[in-house]
């Protein structure tokens, strides 16, 4: 394997750490903190400020993850993995990547941001609980993907 491949793997894992680490932070720390905030403070603005900053970081790291991921598949000439069940983690990586790319680049700026403001103003707690549930689902999917990807790329397949 050439040095560029190893470099791509290093950037891939770094980008994943920053990106999914951020999702974990939002899910397990920020949303619960916003839910516990006192009445006087404005949880909607605070949440938007923090999540907005993270969204910019997530856009860059998602892009880097995708570029380096497809580059590694190209170098390995491993496109046929998409046809094999034991490489379910390659499918999982691609699905997680597509989901986040859609949310960050298309749904959030076009629809979700407006919807969030509208609902959060009406029923803040219910909206934050819904946002939290969505984050938990994405985080769970991402963590299962990371487990499968690390095990699979080092030769430990769960399916023969």
The dihedral over CA atoms of 44, 117, 96, 2, expressed in degrees to the nearest 10, equals -70
Residue 61 vs 132, nearer CB to ligand HEM? 61
Q: How far is the CB of 97 from ligand HEM (least distance, A)?
A: 4
Which residue number is nearest to ligand HEM in terms of Cβ? 69
Q: Which long-range contacts (CB under 8 A, 24 or more apart) does 16-20 make?
A: 16/61, 16/65, 16/146, 18/57, 18/61, 19/57, 19/58, 19/61, 19/62, 19/65, 19/100, 20/139, 20/142, 20/143, 20/146
Residue 27 vs 127, nearer CB to ligand HEM? 27
Q: How far is the CB of 47 from ligand HEM (least distance, A)?
A: 23
Q: How far is the CB of 111 from ligand HEM (least distance, A)?
A: 22
Query: Where on the chain is the footprint of ligand HEM (CB under 6 A)?
Result: 9, 12-13, 16, 20, 65-66, 69-70, 72-73, 93-94, 96-97, 142, 145-146, 149-150, 153
Instruction: Report d(CA 85, CA 4) in Å as an integer.
Output: 28
Residue 111 vs 147, nearer CB to ligand HEM? 147
């Amino acid at each position: 394997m050439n040095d560029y491949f190893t470099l791509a793997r290093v950037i891939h894992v770094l980008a994943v750490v920053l990106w999914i680490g951020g999702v974990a932070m939002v899910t397990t720390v920020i949303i619960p903190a916003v839910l516990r905030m006192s009445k006087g403070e404005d949880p909607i603005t605070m949440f938007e400020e923090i999540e907005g900053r993270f969204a910019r970081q997530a856009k860059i790291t998602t892009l880097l993850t995708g570029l380096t991921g497809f580059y590694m598949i190209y170098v390995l000439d491993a496109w046929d993995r998409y046809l094999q069940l034991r490489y379910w983690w390659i499918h999982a990586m691609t699905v997680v990547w597509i989901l986040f790319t859609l949310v960050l680049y298309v749904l959030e700026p076009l629809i979700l941001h407006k919807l969030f403001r509208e609902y959060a103003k009406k029923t803040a707690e219910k909206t934050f609980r819904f946002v939290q549930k969505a984050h938990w689902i994405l985080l769970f999917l991402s963590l299962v993907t990371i487990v499968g990807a690390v095990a699979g790329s080092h030769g430990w397949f769960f399916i023969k």
